Structure 1
Amino acid sequence: MYKVMIVDDELVVRDGLKQTIEWEEHGFELIGDYENGRDAWEAIEAFKPDLIISDISMPFMDGLELAGLVTAHYPYIKMIILTGYDQFEYAQQAIRLKVSDFILKPITAKDMRALLVKVRLEMDEETKRREDLGRLRSQLHLSLPLLRERFLERLVVLGLGRQEIEGQFAFFGLPAVTPPFIVMLADIDDFGEREAWMDDGHDAEFFRFAVYNIFEEVISTRSNALLFRTREERLVVILNGAEGEDELYVGAYGMAEEARHHIEKYLKFTVTIGIGRACSSPEQLPVSYKSAQSALDYRFQLGKNRILSINDLEGSQGRAMPAALPGDWDRKLSASVKTGSGEAACRQIEFLIEEFRHSRMPIEAVFLQTQRVVLTLMNVMQELGAHEAEDLRKRQLWLTDIYRFKTLDEIEVWLKAIASELAASALDNRNLVASNQIAKATEYIEEHYAEEKLSLQHLCRHTLMSTSYFSLLFKQYTGETFVEYLTRVRLERAKELLLATSLKFYEIASQVGYADPNYFSILFKKHTGSSPRDFREKQAKESLR
C-alpha cells in the first residue's frame, strides 16, 4: 500500500478527491490533506509519503516551491501537479522540476482513477526493478570499469583538481596525458529502420555497445585518446598531446569521420559528433566538453549524421538570438486551422521553422518557442469543442513530447501533423454544420413554397445565416441558387396539380406561390417548353393511349 497526500487550498477539491476516490482499491492509503505547501512540507518530513497530489497556486508556499523541496530532499517521492490552462508557464516549471505528471483542471473522478492506476503500475514496476536489480546494481557500482567511466565523466563534466586527477589516473592505470586537450562528444541520432521492430532496452543496449566497439577500434591505434560512455548513453573521447591545436583538431576530425563512416556503413544507422574547443590543462576539460555539447546541439538546426566543430559553427554569422515572430503569427495559425486550411497552417509552421533555423538559437529557446505554438494549437482544439478524456490526454502529452525530438525537421513534421489533423477536424465539423443548415433551409422551402413572399432574406433569418454566406453554401450543396431551387420546387408541384386536379390555372398559380397567373404561365413555359394548358392536354392524351 502506497501512502498518498493531497495538497490544495480549495476545500471542495480536497473533499471531492477524498470522497469520490476509493483509495485503497487503487493500492493507496490517504494519509492526509493540506491547504498549502507549508503545512504539507511539515507532514512530508514526518510521514514520507510515496505520492503527493498538489495544486500549483496556494498561499504561503505554492506547488512549485513544494515540488522543488521534494525534488531536492526526497527525489524518490512522486508528485502530480494540478494546474489550469492559464498557468502554462507554471506547468513548464513543473516539467523542469521533473514532477511525475500534471493534470489540467477541472479534473474528474474518472480521470483521477485512471491516473492512479497508471502511477500505481509505474511504482510497482520501480519497486520490482529495484528488488530484481538491486544486487546487480551494487556489483556494477563496485566494478572497476564503471568506476573508471564515472571518474572520467566527473573529470569532463564537473572538473577536478590536479592532485585528484593524477591520483585517479594512477589508480585506474590510465596513461599520462599532455596538453593540448580536445573533447569529442558522440550521440546516436536514431536506430534507422530498426526503430520499427526494436521493442526493449536490450536491443538498444546491444547497438550502443556496437557503436562503442567501433569507436574503441578507431582509437586503438592512437595512444593519445581516452574513450568512455556517459550516463546519458553518449560517447566521449578525450584527445591530447599533439604538436599543436591545429594538428589536434585535424586528428579529432579524422577520427570522428572514420567512426561516423563505419557506423553508417556497418550498423546502418547514424551518429552525430560534436568537437569542442582546445584547452591547455586537464582541469579545463569541462570547458572543452561544454563547447562539444554546444556543437552537438547544432544538430537541431543542421540535421543528423554530421561532424560539428564548435570553431566552424561559431565562425558562421547568423542572428545571435531569434527575431521576434510577427505579432499576428499566432492569429494566422489559429485562423488557418479553424477554417480547415491545413495547407495554410503548414505554411505558417514552415515559416516558423525557417526562422528557428536561421536564428541559431539554443535548443532550450527553440523548445520554449515551440511550446508557444503548441499552446496556440491547444487553444484551437479547445475552441473546436474537444473535451473528451482522450483529447485532454493528447493535449497534455504535446507539452512533453517536444523534448524527444533531436532536429528541427522532426519538430516541423510533428507540428504539421497536429495542425493538419486539427484543420481536417475543423473542416469536417464546418461541413457538417453547413450541411445541416442547408438541409434545414431546403426543408423550409418544401414546406413554405406556396407563400408568395418567401424570400432569400426570410430564409436566412430562419437559418441564422448571412445572405452572402447562405447563397454560397446553398449553391455549393444543391447546385442551384435559391431562386432556381424555389422555382423548380414550385413548378414540380404545379405539374402535379395540373395532372391530378381540375383546378384552373390561376388557382394552381396561387397554390404554388404565384399571385400573377400570367407570370406563372410565362415561367412554366420557359422551364418546361409548354404552357400549363398544353402540358395538361398533352399529358392527358398520353394517358389515354
Structure 2
Amino acid sequence: MWKIAIIDDERQVLQGMKRAIPWEELDAEWSGEAMNGADGLNIIRSAQPDIVITDIYMPLINGLDMIEQLRKEGFSGKFIILSGYSDFEYARQALRFNVSDYVSKPISIPTLKTILAKVIQELTAEEEKRMKQGELEQKLMLYEPFIEKEWVRSAAVGTLDSSYGTHLPKPYRYWESCHHAVMGIELVREGRACQCSLSDWNLFRFAVSNIVCEWARRTFPFVEYAELHSTRAVLIIHPQAGQTEQAQKAMEELGARFIDSIQSYLKLACRVGIGSIKNVWTRIPDSTEEAFRAMDTRHTRVPGSSELFVYKGIGESGDNPAVLLPVKVSYELANAIKSAQEGDAQQLVAELTSGLRNQAGITPDYVRMLGSELWGIIAYCLYEVGQVLEELFNNELIAREIKELTQPEQLQLWLQEKISVICGSRQWKGSSKHRKVVDFMTQYIHEHYAEDLTLADLSDKVFISRNHLSIIFKNITGETFNTYLTRVRIEKARELLTVGNLLVYEVAEQVGYKNVPYFSTLFKKLTGMNPTDLIK
C-alpha cells in the first residue's frame, strides 16, 4: 500500500484533498499532514511517505526549500507540487529537485486522480526494478564461489578477459607478494577409470581434489585447485620468493605423494607434471603449459617415479613446443563443446589448424595424433555432461577416418563436420540448459555437503520447481539427488578417515551426519567396510 502525505497551509485544502483522493482505488493510505514546511520536514522524515503533495508558499519553510533539504538527506519519494502560482521559475526549480508534477490550484478530482495514478505507476515500475535488481544481486552472491573458481581456472590457462589487466580480485591479492608454479594432474583413462559411470567419475574427481589439496596444504599455506576438462586439473602453488630450490624439491615430493595416494585410495593411475616457478602471477599460464608439456612429451622424469615429470626447458632440447596442443586451446574447446557454442568451437579448430600449415615438421603421424587427442577431448567433455558420442558416431568408423588424416586442412574439415553434427543434434540442443543447472548443483553439493542440504534448497537457488529439478538431475546424472549427496559425503568421510586422525563421530559431523549409527550404516552399505576399519 502506497503512503501519501499532504503539506499545505490551508486547512480547507488539506481536508478537501483527504476526501477527494480515492484511497482504496489507488491502493494508498494517508500517512500524515502539516501546515508549514518545518512540520512537513518532520512528518516526512518520520513517516517516509511514497508520495508528498505540497504547496510552495507556506510559513517557516517554503515547499521548494523543504524539498531541497529532503533531497539532500536522501529522501527518494515522489513530490507533487500543488500551487496557486503558475510561475515558470518555480516550475524550473521543481524540475531540478526531480518533482513528478507541478499543478496549479484549483485542481479537479479527475485530474488529481490521473496525476496520482501516473505517479503510482512510476513507483510500481521502480519497485519491480528494485526487486529484479535484488534477485540479480542474490544470484551473484550465490554464484560468487563458482565465478571465483572460474576466475582461477582462467588465470591458470590464460583465458582471463583483457579488461582484467593485472588486477587481482580481493581474495588473491596475496599473489602479488609471492612466486607461482603450476602442477598439472592427469587421471589416466584406463582399467577402472574406463568402466565407471558418470556419477562415479565425478566422485573420483572430487576425491582427487580432496587428496591433492590435503597433501598440498601441509607444505604450502596457500594453494588453488581447479579442474580443466575431462581428466586434467591444475594445482597452483605459491612459494615464497628466494626459496626456489626448496619449493622445487617440495613440489617433486608432493607429486610423488599425489600419484601414490590416488593409486592407493582410489585405485586410479595418474600423471603429474611440474612447471617452472614464475615471479609474477601473470605468467602462471606459462607454468601451466610447461607442466602439461613435460607430461605429454615424457621428458625429464623425476627419479623414483615413472609418472612424475618436471619442466626443464624442453623447447631448447630440439622439440618444437608450438606443435603441441596448448592447454588454453584444449580448455576453450572443451568449454565451447559443453555449452554447445558451435561457432566458438569451429573458430578454435580453424585457428589451431591454420597455425600448423605454416610450420615445418608437421607429419601425417602428427596430424593423426592431434586428431585423436582432439577427438578424445571432445568425447571426454561430452561424457562429463552425460552425452555419449557412440549415440552419434560409430567408434570403428571414427578410428578409420582418423587414420586417413594426413594434412592440417583435412583435420580441420573433419573436426568441423563432427562439431556441427554434435551441436546440431536435437538431444544436445534440448538439454544443454539442463546440464548447466546440474553442473551448478553438483558443484554446490561438493562445496556444501556438510550442511543440511535438500533438493528444495537448490530448487530455490536455480528457480526451478523441486519435482522438475529432481527429474532433470536424475536424467543427467543417472541417480537421485539424495543418492548423489550421500555418495559425496561418504567419499569425503572415507578420505578423512584414511588420511586424518579424527574419530568416527567427528568425521560424521564434518560430512553432515549428526546420527552416528545412521552414518555408519550408510558407510558400510556404500563401501563394504565399517568406518572404524579405516582408522589408523
| Interval of TM-score (by shorter of Structure 1 and Structure 2) | 0.3 to 0.5
TM score, norm. by length of structure 1: 0.32
